[in-house]
Amino acid sequence: MGRRKLLVGNWKMHKTTGEARAFAEELGRHGASFPDGMDFAVCAPFTALSVLRVLLPTRVKLGAQNVHFADKGAYTGEISAAMLTDVGVTSVIVGHSERRHLFSESDEWIRRKVHAAVAAGLTPILCVGEDLRQRELNHTLRVVERQTLSGLAELTSAQVAGSVVAYEPVWAIGSGQTPSSQDAQRVVSVIRNVIATEKGADAAASVRILYGGSVTPANIASFTDEADIDGALVGGASLDAASFAALAAGMMGGAQ
Ligand code: PGA
């Protein structure tokens, strides 16, 4: 179907500017690990964006981890989409489970953030996923369907086609536990199907859907080899440059 694989690092609240600089310089020495035909991004803290814009290898795009939905105004502590594009950001994570749970972000806020990101020309990376209790109650599919449709509700089909969804089971994040790749594929295919129903077959065929949650260089290929999984959103294992390069190589190895 011609969807390019995508590896996204999510640094969360890690790295000073000096640490970001060291990462970018080391990553530059791993240039050979970035195969053509695949895309790479690092979603860094706001404070590290300007440093990374200059130093990241050109194959690795710059991403952020949050955005506010207003253009500007009295929103102390917030960052607008225009501020992100101004420092070279091309994609932004929206609705990560840590934002949903620790910072009480609602589906409505997430929908507005996705819309603001797209309106500014950013690629939104909309995170969806069930927590452990929802999984145990067998509510996984209904949770991810609701979060997906709500998050993408304000986008046109063409805008959805250019967007990214990340399926991240909350219980798998930072835990060392993962669903089986078949399990992840099953959920991701359901996400693609609900997008087809709501936004049309073209949008569903083009939207990239990632898996995230305890992805490592050792297990990345098992996920990204699945038919509907177009890449990975990686936290812990993306913090080290050698590990990031190994994730890229792992994804490539699996694709061959
Ligand atoms: P993890 O985090 O890879 O450390 O599990 C993934 C994420 O939260 O995006």
- Residue for token digits 């399990």? 183
CB-CB contact of 228 with 1 (8 Å): no
The residues with which 60 forms a beta bridge, in sequence order, are 40
What is the enclosing helix (H) or strand (E) of 39?
strand 38-43
CB-CB contact of 191 with 147 (8 Å): no
Q: Is 214 in the pocket of ligand 1 (CB under 6 A)?
A: yes
Q: Distance (Å, rounded) from C-alpha 134 to C-alpha 141?
A: 9
Residue 216 Cα to ligand 1 midpoint, Å, equals: 10
- Residue for token digits 């989409």? 81
Residue 73 Cα to ligand 1 midpoint, Å, equals: 32
Percent of the chain with pLDDT over 90: 93
Q: Distance (Å, rounded) from C-alpha 88 to C-alpha 62?
A: 7
Q: Is 145 in the pocket of ligand 1 (CB under 6 A)?
A: no
Q: Is 168 in the pocket of ligand 1 (CB under 6 A)?
A: yes
Q: Distance (Å, rounded) from C-alpha 220 to C-alpha 194?
A: 25
pLDDT tens digits for range 161-197: 999 999 999 999 999 999 999 999 999 999 999 999 9
Q: Which residues of 193-211 are buried (b: 16+ CB within 10 A; e: fewer)?
A: ebbeebbeeebbebbbbbb
Displacement of CA 120 from its chain's centroid (Å): 18
Selection from 232, 236, 235 nearest residue 248 by Cα = 232
* pLDDT score, position 30: 84
What is the residue with the minimal CA distance to atom 3 of ligand 1?
A: 235
- Residue for token digits 């694989």? 5
Q: Which atom of ligand 1 is nearest to the CA of 236?
A: 4
Q: Is 215 in the pocket of ligand 1 (CB under 6 A)?
A: yes
Residue 109's identity, in one-letter code, is W
DSSP characters for 121-140?
Answer: TPEEEEEE---HHHHHTT-H
The dihedral sign for the CA sequence 50, 51, 54, 60? negative
Rg of the chain over CA atoms, in angstroms?
17
What is the residue with the minimal CA distance to atom 6 of ligand 1?
A: 235
Q: Which atom of ligand 1 is nearest to the CA of 213?
A: 5
Q: Per-residue confidence of the chain (256 residues) as pLDDT tens digits?
A: 589 999 999 999 999 999 999 999 999 998 777 888 999 999 999 999 999 999 999 999 999 999 999 999 999 999 999 999 999 999 999 999 999 999 999 999 999 999 999 999 999 999 999 999 999 999 999 999 999 999 999 999 999 999 999 999 999 999 999 999 999 999 999 999 999 999 999 999 999 999 999 999 999 999 999 999 999 999 999 999 999 999 999 998 655 4
Q: Is 18 in the pocket of ligand 1 (CB under 6 A)?
A: no
Q: Is 235 in the pocket of ligand 1 (CB under 6 A)?
A: yes
What is the residue with the minimal CA distance to atom 2 of ligand 1?
A: 235
Catalytic residues: 96, 168
